Amino acid sequence: MSLRHALLAILTAEPMTGYDLVKYFDGSIAFVWNAPHSQIYPELRRMERDGLVEVRVVPRGEKAEKRIYSISETGFAELRNWLTTLAPYQGERDQYRLRSAHFEMATYDAARRQLREHLRHYSQALREWEQMVDDLENRRVSLLQQRLAQRPEAEHEAIIAFRRFAFRGEAAKARTEIAWAEEGLALLDDLEAKRVPLWGEEKAGAAQKG
């Protein structure tokens, strides 16, 4: 997935200024495709250059102007092509698993600190995902409200169901990560109770003596 596909997906709801697009990006797409604001405006310019969006410049106040972006037919074709083409799976690059596989070179305290942060991060993420699912089901998401207003009522069930499906998947991932961190913390407690030495502890002790 690229940033432009995320932006095109938002613009299918209605034409927007760059400011509104960023706002709705943060409140919806950013949950599954994070990108800094500094990348969004340059990408919009590239999308305009490539004919994926159309731009209408309108007055803003007495002297300023604002640009309103809408998805073009070329943009719709690009989004449909992306959605109907099988997405290849990328090789894993998980620094948290990589770190945990070598915790024997750390210390018990350092390993616990990492796993507790993992637990805190995904516990917060789980709360956010569950709130998002609840907001979707109760139609409290403003971008969803706008999208539903643009589409026939017969399509509403599918629009909501697919978003709920995606966000429930993220909630399920968060639960798995929470369980993994809890398992790791229990493992550390068990190894330390058995007085199993860690190479990292030995190195840390030697450094203190030196």
The pTM of the full predicted model, rounded to 2 decimals, is 0.84
Domain ranges of the chain: 3-84, 95-209
Q: For 116-135, what is each residue's pLDDT tens digit?
A: 999 999 999 999 999 999 99
Q: What is the DSSP string of the chain?
A: --HHHHHHHHHTT--EEHHHHHHHHHHTGGGTS---HHHHHHHHHHHHHTTSEEEEEEEETTTEEEEEEEE-HHHHHHHHHHHHSPPPPPPP--HHHHHHTTGGGS-HHHHHHHHHHHHHHHHHHHHHHHHHHHHHHTT--HHHHHHHHHS-GGGHHHHHHHHHHHHHHHHHHHHHHHHHHHHHHHHHHHHHHTT---HHHHHHHHHHH-
Q: For 14-33, what is each residue's pLDDT tens digit?
A: 999 999 998 888 877 777 88
Q: For 175-194, what is each residue's pLDDT tens digit?
A: 999 999 999 999 999 999 99
Please give the CATH architecture assigned to the domain spanning 3-84.
Answer: Orthogonal Bundle (1.10)
Q: What is the pLDDT of residue 191?
A: 97
